[in-house]
Every structure is written in structure tokens, then in C-alpha cells.
Amino acid sequence: MFAAAALTLGSEARAQANLHSGDVLRPGDNMIYGEVGWPELVFGFQHGMSDKVDLGFRFGLIYGYEYRPYTVLGLGMRVPIRITPVKTGRVSFQIRFEPGLKFDAFGSGGCRTRLAGGLVVIEDCAYAGGLAFGLWLPFGLDVGIHLTRDAHLSFGMEAPFYVNFTHGVYGGIPLLFGPGFQYDINDHMSVGANLKFGASILAASVNDGFGHSRTYDNTDFGFITSGFFAYRL
């Protein structure tokens, strides 16, 4: 009986500044947070809607083009909707939808292409000649493992899809996997890291100059490596 009560209390106490633990905030709680690393510098706010859902806003200064090892300046704004349908004393499962808008580049960024023998050849995937702006549709999954009352390990997937609408049509399809870690300093503060690695795919449609549309795709290494600080207000 006492063990069950302790486990229940531990589970309730765990619902604090939850960013990479697999849990959402408690109903009515508010949290601010910052993340720094590759590919962006982030400031965010999250509000607990229920014991299974929280909602917020996330603004990022982006310098890693489509999660690839290329430096291109951009901006992103999204609305994280986090849902934790499964939560026990040891494991939590979270689903994330984060629709928003993204400036993928300000006059540079993307892929330069040319025609050679009727084929589209990709020359440089860190260059394009104009503003890149479009719809951002990130999706993610996390399994949080609660090692102790204060230490949480997570394993998940990040799929921050992007569809560009200006200066050519292309889509960014990163598929990244890896761990995260969160440590609760106290009831209000937490720190940790998020690491994800995988493939970053670019798919585009270009005109070959003869009235025909051609498609191409290009895959490169993509990654997220960031540290974070979160504070429950």
C-alpha cells in the first residue's frame, strides 16, 4: 500500500517543467523554455490544457538548413500541440503536432540545379537565389522512461516536414531518431538535451526549359543536437 502511494506521489510530483520527458504539463500550469544547438536557437511557451494535452508557441532562429550541415539563416514559428495518451509511473508516450510557418532562407538556402543531357543535376544544396517561405508541419513521437523521480530518458522521432511556396516548389522531409534526457532540478526547473540523427530529404519539381516539369530528390545527413532549460511559472 505504502509503495503504491509513493509511486503515485512520485508520478504526480514528476509533472513539472516537462519538455523532453514524454509528459505534458499539469492543467493550468505554464512553462517557458529555451533550446540552443543545431539547427536553431529556440524560445517557447507551453500551457497545460488537461492531464493529457498541452498547447503552446515556439519561435526559432534557424541557421541549419533543413537540419543538414549547411549554415543558412531562417526563422520559424510553430504551435506545439502535445498529447500524452499513456502515462504510468515508469513510462510515458507522447505524440506531437507542431503546425506553423517557416522562412527557410532569406535569399540563400535550398538547392541549385542545372540540366545536363536532359537530366536534372543537383550542384549545391546550400544555395538558392531567393526568399524561401512556406508551411511547416513537424510531427514527433516520444517514449519517456522515468529512471527516477527527477531523471527521465526518452527515445523518439522527429519529422519536421516543410513545404516551400516561394521561389520554386520543394519539400523538406527530415526523418530523425534518437534520445533525449531531462533532469528536474526542483519543482520548477529542468535541464537536459535532445539528440536526433537521420536522413534529410529534399524533393522538388523544376521546369526543364522546354515546358516540361521534372522532379528530383536529394538525401543528406540530418541531425538535432541541442541543450535546453525549462521553467514552470
Q: What is the model's pTM?
A: 0.83
For 44, residues 6+ apart whose C-beta sits below 8 A from its C-beta are: 32, 33, 34, 35, 56, 57, 58, 59, 80
pLDDT of residue 223: 97
CATH architecture of the region 2-232: Beta Barrel (2.40)
Tens of pLDDT, residue by residue over 124-161, are 554 455 688 999 999 999 999 999 999 999 999 999 99
Give per-residue pLDDT as tens, 48-65: 999 999 999 999 999 998
| Cβ count near 49 (within 10 Å) | 17
Residue 127's pLDDT is 44
